[in-house]
């Protein structure tokens, strides 16, 4: 049966004392010893001496850690004779009830972390020794940790010293934890320390590692996406090219129906334009110009076209007869409103009719 995640509890020494360690998994204590633990990659929780950390409990704002720590600093400054600038204050997990507050000399924190760093250890957390014990509902519990006694109450925790313990407990003798209960408490505290002193300026720096395998996978995925995009573009270009060729072929087939039978198609647009010019004449063509002129004649009663000539330059020459002298002018204006340029010649009156010529040109 395999074991679960392993965590090492490293008890920091007091004056002239040795390091002690315990290695636990999610069920039991696996091993223990003196000195520094054998190196491994498992999480490590450092435990400073119980008499080096002062614990308080207070109701703090259940907001951000920074706000809770600021409130805890005010409480710690009121309860300590040491200047607040020389103290490190850490706050336990949030909640609606009282929360643990740990106060320790900032210089001590620096010494502990420097000593561990010189041994190649960067602890994942630093937990006060009394908080490794379970919180009793009432009274006090006691246990031996790393050769020293530790006492914990519902809202207190301290090193077990005869006079101090009697003073704090009011003469009530703490209940000593059995080995099984102590091991269970250590396993629980190692998995989730109720208070971590590594906060604020002593917070553990997170190392940002480069996952080269992930980068290679992302690069490969990017290359695949690029190739697929390129393939889609090439297919689309080919599709448009085939469609354009089909349209050109269709245009050539349609052009063949408008050209003389048997004529070779080299430039359908130019050949159709030439064919159209031949059929309708130059300029706008005879049909379009004649239709516009006769429409204007109908708009001017008393006028008529007695002669019509379509020139090679695309001009339309008219011989106009009118019942009155003003009517040729009215006809000229009507044709101009249709969008043509009109040049009128000299009109003469004879036999009760006014006759003359006009030249109509495309705009």
Give the number of domains in the chain.
Answer: 3
Whether 339 is covered by a domain: the verdict is yes
Query: How far lies 189's CA from each of 32, 44, 125, in Å?
Result: 16, 12, 11
Cβ neighbors of 340 (< 8 A, separation 6 or more) are: 289, 292, 360, 361, 362, 363
Same structural domain, 317 and 265: no
pLDDT of residue 205: 77
Share of the chain above pLDDT 90, in %: 39
Same structural domain, 137 and 158: yes
Q: Which two tokens stand for residue 221?
A: 């995925």
pLDDT of residue 227: 92
37: buried, middle or exposed (CB in 10 Å: 19+, 13-18, 0-12)? Answer: buried
Whether 2 is covered by a domain: the verdict is no
H-run or E-run covering 7: strand 7-11
Whether 45 is covered by a domain: the verdict is yes
Between 318 and 82, the higher pLDDT residue: 318
Whether 315 is covered by a domain: the verdict is yes
Same structural domain, 197 and 216: no
pLDDT of residue 1: 43
Q: Which two tokens stand for residue 223?
A: 């290359």
Residue where one domain finishes, among candidates 278, 311, 334: 278
Same structural domain, 247 and 289: no
**Location of structure tokens 């110009």:** 289
Cβ neighbors of 358 (< 8 A, separation 6 or more) are: 317, 318, 320, 328, 331, 332, 335, 342, 343, 344, 345
Closest CA relative to residue 182, chosen from 139, 156, 150, 159: 150
Which range has the top average pLDDT, 77-81, 125-129, 144-148? 125-129
> What average pLDDT is seen over the chain?
85
Same structural domain, 87 and 218: no
Determine the average pLDDT of the residues in 117-143.
92
Same structural domain, 53 and 190: yes
Closest CA relative to residue 126, chosen from 142, 143, 112, 106: 112
Residue 114 predicted with pLDDT over 80 = yes
Residue 167 predicted with pLDDT over 80 = yes
Whether 15 is covered by a domain: the verdict is yes
Same structural domain, 142 and 29: yes
Residue where one domain finishes, among candidates 239, 256, 278: 278
Whether 207 is covered by a domain: the verdict is no
Determine the average pLDDT of the residues in 47-58.
90
Residue 273 predicted with pLDDT over 80 = no
Residue where one domain finishes, among candidates 202, 221, 252: 202
Going across the sheet that includes 29-34, the strands are 29-34, 20-24, 7-11, 44-47, 125-126
DSSP alpha helix (H) spans, 80-144: 106-118
Same structural domain, 223 and 301: no
pLDDT, tens digit, 9 for 90 and up, residues 282-323: 667 788 888 889 999 999 999 999 898 888 788 889 999 998
Same structural domain, 141 and 286: no
Same structural domain, 348 and 290: yes
User: Which residue range is the domain that position 126 belongs to?
Assistant: 7-202
pLDDT of residue 226: 92
Same structural domain, 261 and 305: no
Same structural domain, 141 and 86: yes
The domain that holds 289 is classified in CATH as: 3.30.1360.100
pLDDT, tens digit, 9 for 90 and up, residues 176-208: 999 999 999 999 999 889 899 999 889 887 665
pLDDT of residue 95: 57
pLDDT of residue 281: 57
- What span, in angstroms and rounded, lies between the C-alpha atoms of 154 and 142? 12
| 210 φψ region: left (φ > 0), alpha (ψ -120 to 50), beta (else) | beta
- Decide if 178 contacts 161 (C-beta within 8 A): no
SS3 165: helix
- Decide if 267 contacts 274 (C-beta within 8 A): no
Whether 33 is covered by a domain: the verdict is yes
């Amino acid at each position: 049966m395999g074991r679960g995640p392993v965590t090492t509890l490293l008890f920091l020494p007091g004056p002239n004392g040795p390091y002690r360690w315990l290695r636990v998994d999610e069920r039991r204590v696996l091993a223990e010893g003196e000195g520094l633990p054998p190196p491994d990659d498992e999480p490590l929780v450092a435990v400073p001496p119980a008499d080096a950390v002062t614990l308080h409990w207070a109701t703090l704002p259940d907001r951000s850690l920074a706000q809770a720590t600021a409130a805890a600093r005010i409480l710690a400054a009121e309860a300590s004779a040491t200047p607040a600038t020389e103290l490190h204050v850490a706050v336990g997990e949030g909640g609606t009830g009282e929360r643990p507050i740990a106060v320790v000399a900032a210089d001590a924190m620096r010494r502990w972390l420097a000593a561990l760093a010189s041994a190649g250890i960067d602890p994942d957390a630093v937990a006060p020794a009394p908080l490794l014990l379970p919180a009793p509902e009432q009274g006090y519990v006691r246990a031996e940790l790393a050769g020293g006694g530790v006492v914990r109450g519902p809202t207190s925790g301290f090193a077990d010293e005869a006079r101090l313990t009697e003073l704090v407990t009011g003469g009530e003798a703490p209940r000593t934890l059995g080995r099984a209960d102590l091991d269970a408490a250590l396993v629980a505290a190692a998995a989730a320390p109720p208070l971590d002193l590594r906060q604020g300026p002593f917070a553990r720096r997170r190392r940002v590692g480069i996952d080269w395998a992930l980068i290679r996978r992302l690069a490969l995925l990017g290359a695949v996406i690029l190739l697929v995009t390129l393939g889609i573009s090439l297919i689309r270009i080919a599709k448009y090219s085939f469609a354009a060729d089909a349209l050109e072929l269709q245009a050539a087939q349609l052009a063949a129906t408008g050209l003389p039978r048997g004529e070779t198609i080299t430039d359908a647009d130019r050949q159709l334009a030439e064919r159209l010019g031949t059929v309708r004449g130059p300029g706008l063509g005879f049909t379009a110009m004649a239709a516009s002129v006769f429409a204007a004649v109908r708009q001017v009663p008393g006028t008529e076209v007695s002669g019509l000539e379509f020139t090679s330059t695309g001009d339309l020459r008219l011989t106009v007869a009118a019942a009155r002298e003003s009517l040729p002018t009215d006809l000229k204006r009507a044709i101009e409103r249709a969008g043509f340029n009109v040049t009128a010649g000299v009109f003469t009156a004879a036999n009760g009719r006014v006759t003359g010529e006009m030249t109509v040109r495309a705009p």
